Chain A
Amino acid sequence: MSLARRKFLQLLGLLGGPTLFLLVFFFGPLLIMVVYSFLTPGLYGGVDWIFSHLNYGRILGWADTRYEKFDPVFLSIFGRSLRLAALTVITSLLISYPAAFWISRMTPGRRDFAIFLVTLPFFVSLIVRLFAWVLILRPTGFLNQGLMGVGLTAQPIEFLYTDFAVILGMTYVFIPFMFLPLYGSIEKLDIAQIEASADLGATRFQTFRKVVLPATMPGIIGGAIITFIPALGNFIVPSVLGGAKVLMIGNLIEQQFLSARNWPFGSALAMLVMTAVLVLLVVQLRLARHGEH
């Protein structure tokens, strides 16, 4: 057996199984979901294998039949999801950026430990972390206890089940996603560049705007995208902290599958999320390529 052939067989042995598995169980399901989004929902749940574009029509505005009507509420829920995800990105960025800067200036030993501390909560159960915020935000919670204790408010404020609670919860959950890419680009920034800028007469703000910010932009964009994507499709955080009041697209999709049993429509909604994600990734690729030149 020739060398090339032997190597080829080894490679096939390593790649074959996992590739087959992923083709069948990862790409297969996604493909079926795309197909489902173009099928007609059965009257009593289930699905009729008849082509239909009305699932998209109900969301985007051209469905006008007896059972399948356009309702602007779907787009407005999607719009709210985009808004909440964007706000989550902004809060995570504002919270993480100075912290990442601070940590990047520590001595190496401390730095590694600080990074470890930042990533550790990522491994703590999601549901536990959200439960902690329920304890803080509920009417009898620690935040209201504190506010009433210092006399800022007489009546407990309803924090839970608001946009605020959902943004806070998602920010808390996704902080490591924002922090790590940010830290990666901030750490690469040479402190001498900042000194050089100051030396050449720039104020702190000018230095930040003209040197620090452009240099760390790849990290900001990377962090923003990998925070935005899971935030957009999230349904655990809004269902724990947002209750029935703050519906996001994820809750809507869940309903279609587990209570309304309209799988084709649920698939169409999921396609909406997928499309948004794809657009974002293409934008990021473009930006990254642009950055190389």
Chain B
Amino acid sequence: MPAHLEIIGARKAFRTPEGGTMTALDGISLKLASAEFLTLLGPSGCGKTTLLRTISGFETLDDGDIVIDGVAVTQMPAHKRPVNTVFQRYALFNHMSVARNVGYALEIAGKSKREITARVGEMLELVGLSGMGKRSVSQLSGGQQQRVALARALAGKPKLLLLDEPLSALDKNLRQKMQQELKSIQRELGIGFVFVTHDQEEALTMSDRIAVLAHGRIQQIDAPSVLYQRPANLFTADFLGESNLLPVTLDGMSAHLADGQSFEVARPSGKATLLLRPEALAVTPPAGPSLSFSGRITQTYYSGKDHQIALDTGQLGPLTALIRTGGTPPEIGATVTLHAPAHGLHLIDETAA
């Protein structure tokens, strides 16, 4: 199957007001299969929004190419590209009704009135706004405006839908509901979604694949579980979720921690870092070989089902662990020993960072 969207060596720099240049995209390449839900994730200023805007055609690349369904669209103006966007703050046309907003692409394409009415009705039903076509968009709530923006972008049957932090303006409950709806709409329509967000939880729950961006480069692009469990570099490990990063020295077939513990690895030599997710640490030792860490509890946070504790291990520095302790909460000042099974430990090669 040919790639639905392909970005090859995209570069883009902006002039800053102070007269310098800021590199927003520093050689980005990626491929998106059709019907894939790809999320661009990264801290603000990482280039994710710029990348999205070059796909939609609002920014032109300094270098590189954008190919959609085998056609290079790099020099094509935004209005000719077969992609539509859901904007961060919706960008609805305030002087038009809901129905005219949704039917805009069809009106522009010169479709008949009957066809437009039918499609608008269909779209409003899809996003759960049936019968609200006559309203003015300024009468709608934030969530409803969000739905209109989605219906408007989908009405023209784009080959690819781009979403620029579309849920960031909604409150938490509504956001979770919309996440599920977006996901199911994407499955129903079977078109590719490119979704920009800085919210990692949102990215993890919705995406088929996530591209983690920083400093204008893709740090890693993988399925959410791979990204979380086997991050390719320190940035991804640190950016996604909570992590304990412990430096190790490699020596032949074993890795040594600073306190002398060691475990077997399949890597020859060099410097590396051990990633220990807080939930990998447990009070009860596992059956097989394991690493163990003793220390004094310095902080505890109760999250509802787990206790997150900060542990001062002395030689290895502070550690964060997520533990389930049944009825008795851990006490600050108490000493505790935690264990992590030696199999499945993930090493990050520092030369990759």
Which residue of A is nearest B61, CB measured? A3
Contact B60 A4 (CB under 8 A): yes
Q: Considering the complex, which residues of chain A in the window 2-31 have a beta carbon less than 8 Å from any beta carbon of chain B?
A: 2-4, 6
B77: chain A residues within 8 A (beta carbon): 3, 6
Chain B binding site: helix, strand, loop or mixed by DSSP? loop
B75 interfacial by beta-carbon distance below 8 Å: yes
Closest to B59 in A: A3
User: What chain B residues lie within 8 Å of A3 (beta carbons)?
Assistant: 57, 60, 75-77
Q: How far is the CA of A4 from the CA of B76 in the complex (A)?
A: 11
> Which B residue sits closest to A3, measured CB to CB?
B60
CB nearest neighbor in B for A1: B75
Q: Which size class do A's interface residues fall under?
A: under 10
Chain B residues 75 to 111 lying within 8 A of chain A, measured CB to CB, are 75-77
Cα distance, A2 to B76, chains bound together (Å): 8
Which residues of the other chain, A, contact B57 by a CB distance below 8 angstroms?
A: 3
Q: Which residues of B contact A6 (CB under 8 A)?
A: 77
A-contacting residues, B44-82, CB 8 Å: 57, 60, 75-77
Tell me, rounded to whole Å, the shortest Cβ–Cβ distance linking A7 to chain B: 9
A292 to B132, CA, bound (A): 50
For B78, give the chain A residue with the smallest CB separation: A3
Instruction: Determine the residue in chain B with the shortest Cβ distance to A7.
Output: B60
- State which residues 210-248 of B face A: CB under 8 Å: none
Closest chain A CB from B83 CB (angstroms): 15
Please give the distance in Å from B300's CB to the nearest CB on chain A.
38
The B-contacting residues of A in range 83-133, CB under 8 angstroms, are none
A4 CA to B75 CA, complexed, in Å: 9
> A residues within 8 A CB of B60?
3-4
Q: What's the Cα separation between A6 and B79 when bound, in Å?
A: 13
CB distance from B210 to the nearest CB of A (A): 30
B46 to chain A, nearest CB (A): 24
B77 nearest CB neighbor, chain A only: A3
A4, B62: Cα distance in complex, Å:
10
Q: CA of A3 to CA of B60 in the docked complex: distance in angstroms?
A: 8
Shortest CB–CB separation between residue A284 and chain B, in angstroms?
A: 21
Instruction: Give chain B nearest CB distance to A78 CB in angstroms.
Output: 40
| Closest chain B residue to A6, Cβ basis | B77
**A15, B60: Cα distance in complex, Å:** 22
- Complex CA distance for A95 and B75, rounded to whole angstroms: 60
Query: Shortest CB–CB separation between residue A34 and chain B, in angstroms?
Result: 32
Q: How far is the CB of B170 from chain A (nearest CB, A)?
A: 28
Q: In the complex, what distance in Å separates the CA atom of A3 from the CA atom of B66?
A: 14
Minimal beta-carbon separation of A256 from chain B (angstroms): 45
Q: Which of A191-245 contact B (CB under 8 A)?
A: none
Q: Output the nearest chain A residue to B74 by Cβ-Cβ distance.
A: A3
Q: List A contacts of B76 (CB < 8 A).
A: 3
Closest CB in chain B relative to A3 CB, distance in Å: 5
The answer for the CA separation of A139 and B296 in the assembled complex, in Å, is 96
Provide the residues of chain A in CB contact with B75, threshold 8 Å: 2-3
A6 to B75, CA, bound (A): 10
In the complex, A6→B57 CA distance in Å? 13
Contacts of A4 on B, CB cut-off 8 Å? 60
Chain B hits for A2, CB < 8 A:
75
Within the complex, what minimum Cβ distance (angstroms) separates A5 from chain B?
A: 10
Q: How far is the CB of B75 from chain A (nearest CB, A)?
A: 5
Q: A3–B56 Cα gap in the complex (Å)?
A: 13
Q: Would you give the shortest CB distance from A76 to chain B, in whole angstroms?
A: 47
A-B contacts, 8 listed (Cβ < 8 Å): A2-B75, A3-B57, A3-B60, A3-B75, A3-B76, A3-B77, A4-B60, A6-B77
For the complex with contacts A2-B75, A3-B76, 6 further pairs of A-B residues with Cβ separation under 8 Å are A3-B57, A3-B60, A3-B75, A3-B77, A4-B60, A6-B77
Which 8 interchain pairs have the tightest Cβ spacing? A3-B60, A2-B75, A3-B75, A3-B77, A4-B60, A6-B77, A3-B76, A3-B57
